Amino acid sequence: EVYGTGIFIHATFPLLLLWAAMSAWAESHDLAVVLDRILLLALVFAIVVLHEFGHAMAGGRYGVRTRDITLLPIGGLARMDRIPSIPSQELVIAAAGPAVNLVLAILMFAVMTASGHPPEFSDAAMLNGSLAERLLLVNLSILLFNLLPAFPMDGGRILRSLLAMRMDFVRATQVAVFLGQS
């Protein structure tokens, strides 16, 4: 538990780590590659926790308590007590998670560039780059994925909150869901 918010790991998470280790071993027969893959996966999930805590911290600012955060094989889920009734508050809460990934990416980019190893944005970097380079690309991927306007993801919630500034909440939800499916 961190700041009154429980953190849970879905039962399939150990299976995901095992799968990553086995596939790395099958590809390379090298323990260093296996450990690198496990470390990368663990750090990706740490980034997901930070993303979800971005939502939780923003929610706390408006009196919205986050009961728990669950790590799933496909990402994370912060369960909040309620949805704010003020659209601008929902906007801040929904945008806070992707904002964490943006800040992490900017910091990683700055450190890598300042150290004389600017990141390379390529498929090869995602697969074979340094750990820092791969984590930078992971943060950018999480950021962009979460900004897709598919409800109930962050982008869909951002869209709904913007629509709710112009129309009633129920109609805004319907429009956000429709646009997310289009």
Lowest-pLDDT choice from 36-40, 129-133, 139-143: 129-133
Q: b/e map of 53-64 (b: 16 or more CB within 10 Å)? A: bbbbbbbbeeeb
Is pLDDT of 127 > 80? no
pLDDT band (50, 70, 90) for residue 67: very high
Q: What mean pLDDT comes out for the span 69-75? A: 86
Q: How far apart are CA 121 and CA 101, in angstroms?
A: 16
pLDDT digits (tens, 9 = 90+) for 83-108: 898 999 999 999 999 999 999 999 99
Answer yes or no: pTM beyond 0.75.
yes
Q: What is the pLDDT of residue 180?
A: 85
Q: What is the pLDDT of residue 146?
A: 94
Q: What is the pLDDT of residue 124?
A: 73
Is pLDDT of 139 > 70? yes
Q: What is the pLDDT of residue 74?
A: 81
Q: Is 52 a catalytic residue?
A: yes
Sequence-separated contacts (24+) of 139-147 with Cβ below 8 Å: 139/47, 139/101, 139/102, 139/104, 139/105, 139/108, 140/101, 140/105, 142/47, 142/48, 142/51, 142/75, 142/98, 142/101, 143/98, 143/101, 143/102, 143/105, 146/51, 146/97, 146/98, 146/101, 147/98
Catalytic residue among 27, 52, 120, 133: 52
pLDDT digits (tens, 9 = 90+) for 31-57: 999 999 999 999 999 999 999 999 999
